[in-house]
Chain A
Amino acid sequence: MFPILEQGLIMGIMALGVFISFRVLNMPDLTVDGTFALGGAVTVSAMTIGLPVYISLAAACFISCLAGMATALIHRKLRINVLLAGILVMTMIYSVNLRIMDGPNLPVPKDQVINQMTSFEEESGEDPLADLFAEAGIADVKSADIPAVERRSAGNIFNGAQDGKDLVIICAFCAALVVLLFIFLKTEMGIALRGFGSNPDAIQAFGITKTSMTVFGLGIANTLVGLGGGLFSLYGGFADVSMGQGMIVTGLAIVMVGELFLGKRKFLFGLIAPLIGGIAYQCILAVAMRYGHVIGFKSSDMKLLTALFIISVISLSLLSSGKKRGKFKSNLKSMLKAGGR
């Protein structure tokens, strides 16, 4: 049960970012696919060069934030559709990730060597000939005073022991993020950001530019996604260049599952919904993997299942909002129209 909760909550942190872009800003931001892997790549690479884990995670958040801001600037300044801007940045991030990791994947370092090993003597701190001298009866040979190589733990915050300690750490992250976001969204800036998502044209009448709101909003959204990616890499023990593939669909599915449980109205519930949704999504995933073979389901069908799941959730919410069949039809029509625009 621990892995499901742990992975679910980590995916929930990523989905919090998707919630900010999709629900708060009302913007479909595809940068998420790139920044999830970017978060992982930066975290693991920073740890590999010896940075402490929390600094590495902070670096991942910062770089992911810049990626989100880049999407916003491309969208606003070059007047490119936000979907295309997201795809462009996501594509760029793929190459950036390969450069950061110097390859397609990178394991989280187990430990770090503080002073560089040069020989067996330095590694062991013993004289290699001491045994020989002892056998020859020359006991008073003084071994050289060679310092042993110092090693320290790389400081991965997760031990992978499934003893609940990892879950406590992840819960602490989730609680801190929800509290911080809740406070932020109640500030003048947070309210303006929500107002921008609700009515982007009207916000200009109050002296706030659309560009500043887009840059700030997508920056925050991708910071959360990057943090999710970093934690995911630490939890899994590696970063991979393709680990963000389809993450936007997964994030959206998680947000929708959460909203099925908690509803859409109050935004505090909106902040908790992705976390609940993340756990529910992992449960569905686990059941599908374990018992899916009965109906011929393979693990490679997961993306198909996720996309179909989103379609079913949208259909269900349309059905529940318009109980009569006619209303469902008109809802579906207006939705398709909105999609066409």
Chain B
Amino acid sequence: MIKLENIRYSYNSGESNEKTVLKDVNLDVEKGDFITIVGSNGAGKSTLLKLITGEIYPENGNYMLEGKKVNNSGMHKLSRKIGRVFQNPNGGVFNDLCIRENLIISSKKGMRSFRFGKYNDFGLELLGELNLGLENRLDIMAGELSGGQKQGLAMVMAVSSSPSLLLLDEHTASLDPVSAARVMELTKKINEKYGITIMMITHNTEFAANYGNRLLKITDGTLFELKDRKKMFVS
């Protein structure tokens, strides 16, 4: 589904303060995978996700999405196939709109028409699966929700247009343990029940040990797969 071949990326490329963050990264993601990525701060995890979403372009190498080379495709083009959730709960929702309008925006990708918007049933179904009762409070403003509720809504919005891939950038980092566990359960369900491929960055060792079918680690811009995940977390 996603193939990265010899990907290289540097910040401030060509300048005196150039910093190479990704060095010859290779990755093959199959449809339905739930990949967990770990690594220390500054290792290049978020840069890798930015590159996959099209926010930044690779200097070298090939980035293939569903068999097509998309090295220099813009973010808005790739966003038709990729959903993402940020660390900050406010990053993925529209605080000045009500939940209904948030769902309307997320129900499809691309430019909008001048017709009255409708949210899709899938979005409402996902919202119900959060078990937060939000599906019955569609007219309250997203800005009035708690951090956990906002992150749940952001997850639903990222998935409701049925993307092929969902990118999660430390999406439970700013949540309390109960909200984080609830959001992680939804994450698992999205992968298992709806078959959406997931790439998740996390610093939480418990989540890294228990969620996902593949575990990757980035160290100094190099990506490698950890085959024996139990051994790693015990050590």
- Chain A residues within 8 Å of B, Cβ to Cβ: 184, 186-189, 191-192, 194-195, 197-199, 201-209, 212, 265
The secondary-structure label for the interface of chain B is: loop
Does B79 sit within 8 A of A, measured CB to CB?
A: yes
Q: Which among A195, A201, A206 has the greatest number of chain B C-beta atoms within 10 A?
A: A206
- Chain B residues within 8 Å of A, Cβ to Cβ: 53, 74-77, 79-80, 83-84, 90-97, 101-102, 104-106, 108-117, 141, 158, 161
Q: Would A187 and B76 be within 8 Å (CB), given that A194-B94, A199-B93, A206-B105 are in contact?
A: no
Q: Would A205 and B111 be within 8 Å (CB), given that A187-B116, A198-B95, A199-B94 are in contact?
A: no
Choose among A197, A199, A205 the residue that contacts B79 (Cβ–Cβ < 8 A). Answer: A205
Contact A197 B96 (CB under 8 A): yes
Contact A207 B104 (CB under 8 A): no
Choose among A187, A201, A202, A207 the residue that contacts B115 (Cβ–Cβ < 8 A). Answer: A187
Choose among A187, A198, A209 the residue that contacts B114 (Cβ–Cβ < 8 A). Answer: A187
Q: Would A207 and B90 be within 8 Å (CB), given that A186-B116, A198-B96 are in contact?
A: no
Q: Please, which residue of chain B has its CB at the minimum distance from the CB of A201?
A: B91
Choose among A186, A191, A208 the residue that contacts B111 (Cβ–Cβ < 8 A). Answer: A208
Contact A202 B94 (CB under 8 A): yes
Q: Would A194 and B91 be within 8 Å (CB), given that A207-B80, A208-B111 are in contact?
A: no
Contacts of B96 on A, CB cut-off 8 Å?
194, 197-198
Contact B92 A202 (CB under 8 A): yes
Q: Please, which residue of chain A has its CB at the minimum distance from the CB of B75?
A: A204
Bound complex: CA A209 to CA B76 (Å): 6
Q: Would A188 and B115 be within 8 Å (CB), given that A194-B94, A207-B109 are in contact?
A: yes
Q: A191-B112, A207-B109 are in contact. List 8 more A-B contacts (CB 8 A).
A: A184-B114, A187-B115, A189-B112, A194-B97, A197-B96, A202-B92, A202-B93, A209-B76
Contacts of B111 on A, CB cut-off 8 Å?
207-208, 212
Q: Would A188 and B113 be within 8 Å (CB), given that A204-B76, A206-B161, A208-B76 are in contact?
A: yes
| Closest beta carbon of chain B to A2's beta carbon, Å | 37
